[in-house]
Structure 1
């Protein structure tokens, strides 16, 4: 089988008060022998699997927590695999990320890609078929996939695959309730004083304004050495921001960018505290919280944007996930079913967040999880005879 090189492009440029910021995407051409063997095909339209990285929307880049298992299955099946950066909170908000995702999808279906073949002078030229695009993501990347499902019209995603995606239920204690005891993998409670540049003064009195932060779309993972007083502790403070915002119960304020008058987490928290038991008057509760969120931010919330037009969806979630509770995927499944959308949820018993990156993950989850994703992709964007 011939091997094609990864292609990297800036899919948009963000202007700021200092210098323009290029936002990048990596395009991995299909490795299917039927498409690549001669390496001289010109202009075929190929299906694409678009992947969004995790990191709580605050950290990471297109190569962070890279899903090798998904990349391999996609490209071997004859699909392009696409991994993209997007702007990070803060200073970005969810609105910036919505724009990024729309710009990305429009970009990848608007151009022709020329992939050099490793080891010879031939090239493979291809385009992305706008009728065969699947959006996928892990954790916060799952939320990005939901955003694409909610808002992208051309190309409209053919299907969605979410690995323990966040943001399917922002109106829960996980996002709204302040925490004083370890809640994520038993790790320590953070001291807000250690993050003055990333907190609004509502959440840390006299904090420096993070309005001076410049747009960023690539924040690589970095760790302290094992000799550090907490061996292997994150050296990039952005790696801890989502955990900090969840600890303070204010993630939604940073996601929406609403900090005036104390933000919107406080009234949402009050509504949550008066909510009936889970499953009782759920629609009534959603209507109430909808009235508390300013209308200009409704587009950011999955629960406000589910309709029969939502693409077929596969949800995968570990039952012991402490970063994104499995109840989020269960809730989304329930709402999608109510809207008449094809949806399946695969719960992985006893597994934590990011279980698919564990050592030996292919042996542990290959048949039970990864192959099911491959089959789902084939049903929705596979080509007979490819």
Structure 2
């Protein structure tokens, strides 16, 4: 198996070319099809790109015989959450189901996708986007894993300032500087740093606040205004919130769902995931949750393979395997 991905264009939107990385397991089998897992990066819907996911997680997926797709999506705020990131990831799912992934793979060898066993997972905002493939689509994924995903957007937390994030910002950032993100045309599908802390080189470095996008995103997080920035129509009493919040779309036919969340998370509190779990249980959805002791937000980026955290978060991937099975290995 190789960690050098292929890259395919899956959509274009107003000049934005939206791609997905494709990781393929070991030598292709001509007799069997491979389950497909979509791995969605985090970044508060405003940061990150497909190169900023956990490669140990990707490698774990490949060892299970899965094809792994790591998509980019357009970044807010130049486009809103519903019309940008959510629509892009849903269009990727359609691209898979409509046979375009197999068309692409046919030029690469004998890999073929098992379209009856497509799952999704993601971290933080990527967890939300994975959950968004369980509703509002003609054919949902078969299983979902949310790692500290953003949910329950009517909870008071989403309007709560975070002083520990504000402390990282330089003083006197001007609004005119922050708002330069709205001038980025076409809407970008990648940023130079992610909320997880990785840069393009994979190094664990913090944001560069001389860049408007980094400064804008962390300013919104610090002010408790992320939802206003990424989905301006949102209000706690606005029914349009039903269109974007997975927690408000749980029903008995929601896909089997597993949650992994750090117990020390201060950026997406674990109580939000516990509430999602409660709703899944009440709806009779096959589900489960692993609470990881002592871990803050974004732990997937920095965890050590073989550590306690590694084995605990891996329970989520075991859950996916119990639904979609293994591929040829």
Q: 1:174 to 1:107 in 2, by over 3 A?
A: same
Match of 1:105 in 2: 93
Could you report, residue by residue, the CA deviation over 1:314-361 in whole angstroms, capped at 9, with x for unpaired residues? 111111111111111111001111111111111111111122232535
The aligned residue for residue 283 of structure 1 is none
Per-residue CA shift, 1:213-239, capped at 9, x if unaligned? 54111112289xxxxxxx955254423
* Counterparts of 2:307 and 2:241, CA distance in 1: 43
Matched, 1:56 2:44: yes
Equivalent in the alignment of 1:133: 118
Q: What SS does structure 2 have at the residue aligned with 1:151? A: coil
| Structure-to-structure mapping, 1:1-386, within 5 angstroms | 3=2, 6-15=5-14, 20-31=15-26, 36=27, 39=28, 41-42=29-30, 44-64=32-52, 66-96=53-83, 97-109=85-97, 110-111=99-100, 112=102, 113-114=104-105, 124-154=109-139, 156-166=140-150, 168-177=151-160, 179=161, 182-184=163-165, 187-188=167-168, 193-199=173-179, 210=182, 214-221=186-193, 233-235=207-209, 236-258=211-233, 264-265=234-235, 268=236, 292-293=237-238, 295-358=239-302, 360-370=304-314, 372-383=315-326
Structure 2: which 5+ residue stretches go unaligned? 198-204
Other-structure match for 1:275: none
Confirm or deny: 8 A CA contact 2:40 2:70 kept in the other structure: yes
Q: Distance in 2 between matches of 1:4 and 1:233?
A: 26
- The 1:328/1:243 distance shift into structure 2, 3 A limit, reads farther
Q: Please state whether the residue corresponding to 2:122 is helix, strand or coil.
A: strand
* Worse overlay, 212-221 or 130-139: 212-221
- 1:43 to partner: Cα distance: 7.5
Secondary structure, aligned partner of 2:128 = helix
Cα distance in 1, alignment partners of residues 287 and 48 from structure 2: 28
> How many residue pairs align between the two structures?
315
Aligned equivalents of 1:172, 1:188: Cα separation in 2? 25
1:232-278 CA distances to partner (integer Å, 9 max, x unpaired)?
Answer: 552544234343223333322222233xxxxx55xx3xxxxxxxxxx
TM-score norm. by structure 2 comes to 0.85
Change (3 A) 1:46 1:343: same
> Matched residues in 1 for 2:182 and 2:178: separation?
6
In the TM superposition, what is the alpha-carbon distance from 1:196 to its structure 2 partner? 2.5
> Aligned to 1:196, what secondary structure does the other structure show?
helix
Mapped to 2, the partners of 1:3 and 1:213 lie a distance apart of 34
Offset of residue 62 of structure 1: 0.5
* Residues 146, 384 of structure 1: alpha-carbon distance in 2 compared, 3 angstrom cutoff: closer
Question: Is the 1:190–1:244 contact (alpha carbons within 8 Å) kept by the matching residues of 2?
Answer: no
2:148/2:273 contact within 8 Å kept: yes
Q: State the alpha-carbon separation in 2 of the partners of residues 48 and 137 from structure 1.
A: 14
Higher RCO (C-alpha 8 Å, min separation 6) = 2
> Where does residue 281 of structure 1 map in the other structure?
none
Structure 1 residues 307 and 187: CA distance shift in structure 2, 3 A: same
Structure 1: which 4+ aligned runs deviate by more than 6 Å?
A: none
Deviation of the 1:192 alpha carbon: 6.9
How many angstroms does 1:3 deviate by? 4.6
